[in-house]
A and B are shown apart, each in its own frame.
Chain A
Amino acid sequence: MHVPYSYLDQQFAEVDTYLADIRDLVRSGDFTLGAAVGEFERRFAELCGLPYAVGVSSGTDALALSLEAVGVGPGDEVITTPNTFVATVGAIVMTGARPVFVDNNEDYTIDANLIEEAITDKTKAILPVHLTGIPADMPAIMDIANRHGVSVIEDAAQAILASIDGKHVGSWGQTAGFSLHPLKNLNVWGDGGVIVTRSAELAERLKLMRNHGLADRDTVELYGQNSRLDSLQAVVGNRLISETHPITNGRIANAKRYDDGLADLGAYIKIPTRQPGVKQVFHTYVIQVSDRNGLLNHLEAQGIEAKVHYPIPMHLQKASDYLGYKSGDFPVCERHCGTILSLPVHQHLSPEQVDWAIGQVREYYSNKSGG
């Protein structure tokens, strides 16, 4: 049985409505910050329970623009975690600031207990990542940030609709950046991103910053980027956004099925942690396994597309050389990098496909224990 990691082909099963929308857009020529973008922003803000959303060209830009909007720039430090996608760190560097890493928890998000010792008089912001769709420990992080007078920008790229005690990710920090990349839970058909905020002032500033700093066609308030969510992508987003809850519920159900099927393999496998009151949306279903490469090969041979998010932590990337970190600096993250494995968990998987994947994981370890 084939258990694919990507599901985009299934998204196109009923593609005619999308194409009709795109045809209308092409006919209208309303390609740049058009009506579709305004509609998507309104609906995205509503989905997050916040007053403002600003569509930008990628999740990376959502973070970089957010950091700049709260005043992060050259000479500043931004605290984040080395266990993330490169865009988190790239966004910090784009602003001219210096990334400062803090190790993560067993749940793959930043360890709030280690943040305070990383704060210096140059620290301007904390950038927690809701990796895999698990919210970072936002109550603790906000408490630290408030005590030290630093901003919090949430990297919510993987975590739309995740929440803590009913409070959505994106509603804790000054702003949050979401990605609409084709492989995200809520996706478009190219690059795209969104920033959410409860601050009218930040929303206005971000709208200037994403559009050349133009207050109107002829007035340049500040030097800004060109980072606009394409109307074409907003058209796709406006179709898919209605599906966000069913998509999320499908992933949560598949994750639960994996949990139930793998929980008793504790000798070989550690399933994702669960916390009461925390809604995890399973952008990825990440387990820690023994003999990862053997398992990866076995799954691949059985048609199951497993992946590793991510094999090399950010502090050990070549691009980080100038930061002066070394192997051993972040033991939890480094240990995870050697043992983590992502099983396909997307909403289009059938129970049979998930069961097949579970069965193959079980078979691999039963063969091992058997001899």
Chain B
Amino acid sequence: MNIPFVNLAAQHAPIKTEVMAAVERVLDHGQFILGNEVDEFEYRFADLCGTANAVGVNSGTDALILALRALEVGPGDEVITVSNSFVASTGCIALVGASPVFVDVREDYNMDPGLIEEAITERTKAILLVHLTGRPADMDPIMDISRKHGLYLIEDSAQAVGAEYKGKRVGSFGDIGCFSLHPLKTLNACGDGGVLTTNDSSLYEELKILRNLGLRDRDDCVAWGLNSRLDTLQAAILLVKLGYVDEWTDKRRAHALFYQNMLRDLPQIKCPEEESYERSVYHTFVVQAHNREALRKYLSSKNIGTAVHYPIPIHLHKAAATLGYGVGSFPATERQAGKILSLPVYPELQADQLEYVVSNLRNFYQQAGT
């Protein structure tokens, strides 16, 4: 049996006809730039998140950059975020000229609210939290802190479309929610794409101008913005996929539940366990594994693809050298980086494939005798 870590071909095989029909509809009208499909996608995505507005952009990274720009975060400002994330959530802060300030994470891989206040200085302008792995961060205490200190709140929801905290969807808590529609995300374009959500109508207007070169209309440029538009072609494809995303998420959750039930008694593996207040969408299913590297090799020899999200915490990358952090700065993040392993969890996996993964995990630890 062969179980690749990702399998986009399997996702597209059953919807290929619909996807191609959507592409052809765009060709029929030729409005490749900010065409009607972009408006419709924005409307439906806002509805999905329970927000008033959504704005389609070129990538999840650009969504973060535009959010910071719209909130006027720039040189001299500090933004509190986590080191346990994809690089984009820190890169966007550096790219607008502000300074990233990290706080450590909890066992759910998300920002530890108990550590935020000691990281706040008079230069702190915003908190940029990440709903990593498809799990919502612990929003109540984070919201309290941001209100108490008058900080903007940006939700990096790139991995968490549809995830819920106490029945409310991510992207609807902060000033702005930022989502990625990258091919490997749970709601994915066939190329790069991103979307922002907000309930604030003036931020909404600002974001629409900033993503389109600052143009209020064809001839009037009111601010220097980016060229960061969700392609109409991608929006049309995403509209097809919006019809499936709930079904796909349900399958991811069922796969996760299977792993949790089948691995719970295995002391060498620590599965993510959902809290009663949350609904994870399992963009990744990240376990902490004893003897990870040997396990990865073993699974690979059994044709089971795995990944590590992410092996090097952001504060230990070369790009972070000037920020003054080092080994030991964030013990939980660093400890997790050495143990975390992402198992395949995409919707198209079949029961026998999941069983194969589980039995090989168990075999490894039986053989290793550890």
Contact = CB atoms under 8 A, between A and B. Distances in A.
Interface in A298-318: 310-312, 314, 317-318
A324 to B, nearest CB: 15
Nearest to A312: B219
Given A74-B75, A90-B227, A319-B224, A226 B61 contact: yes
A29 B8 contact: yes
6 contacts: A23-B16, A26-B190, A74-B75, A220-B87, A220-B317, A226-B192
Contact of A86 (B23, B214, B231, B232): B214
Interface in B1-22: 7-9, 11-13, 16, 19-20
Contacts of A224: 91
Given A90-B226, A190-B233, A318 B318 contact: no
B174 interface: no
Interface string A17-28: 001001101111
Contact of A57 (B91, B94, B192, B220): B192
B144 interface: no
A19 B221 contact: no
A312 B219 CA distance: 7
Given A223-B87, A223-B95, 10 more contacts: A12-B30, A26-B19, A182-B30, A189-B26, A191-B33, A218-B310, A220-B314, A226-B62, A317-B220, A318-B220
Interface string B184-224: 00000111100000000000000000000111000111111
Given A12-B30, A15-B27, A231 B191 contact: yes
A182 B11 CA distance: 29
Given A190-B231, A190-B232, A219-B312, A319 B91 contact: no
Contacts of A96: 75, 97
A191 B60 CA distance: 16
A37 to B, nearest CB: 10
A27 B19 CA distance: 11
Interface in A318-348: 318-320
B9 to A, nearest CB: 5
Contact of A319 (B12, B221, B226): B221
A220 B320 CA distance: 9
B177 interface: no
Interface residues of B, number: 65
B32 A29 contact: no
B60 A226 contact: yes
Interface of B: 7-9, 11-13, 16, 19-20, 23-24, 26-28, 30, 32-33, 58-62, 65, 75, 86-88, 90-91, 94-95, 97, 182-183, 189-192, 213-215, 219-229, 231-234, 308, 310-312, 314, 317-320
A214 B310 CA distance: 13
Interface of A: 6, 8-9, 12, 15, 19, 22-23, 25-29, 31-32, 57-61, 74, 86-87, 89-90, 93-94, 96, 181-182, 189-191, 212-214, 218-228, 230-233, 310-312, 314, 317-320
A232 B97 CA distance: 32
A223 B30 contact: no
Contact of B319 (A74, A89, A221, A311): A221
A89 B226 CA distance: 11
A218 B316 CA distance: 11
B314 A94 contact: no
Contacts of A219: 312, 317-318
B319 A222 contact: yes
A213 B222 contact: no
A60 B87 CA distance: 23
A86 to B, nearest CB: 5
Given A87-B213, A90-B213, A223 B94 contact: yes
B12 A27 contact: yes
A230 B61 contact: no
B33 A190 contact: yes
Interface centre among A74, A224, A312 (most CB of B within 10 A): A224
Nearest to B86: A212
Contacts of B183: 29, 31-32
A28 B7 CA distance: 9
A296 B314 CA distance: 56
Contacts of B311: 218
B235 to A, nearest CB: 10
A19 B17 CA distance: 12
B32 A190 contact: yes
Contacts of A94: 224, 226
**Those 6 A-B pairs whose CB atoms lie nearest each other, nearest first:** A29-B8, A230-B191, A190-B231, A60-B227, A226-B61, A93-B224
Contact of A26 (B16, B192, B232): B16
A170 to B, nearest CB: 19
A92 to B, nearest CB: 8
Contacts of B220: 312, 317-318
Contacts of A225: 61-62, 65, 91, 95
A317 B221 contact: yes
Nearest to B232: A190
A232 B190 contact: yes
Contacts of A31: 8, 183, 189-191
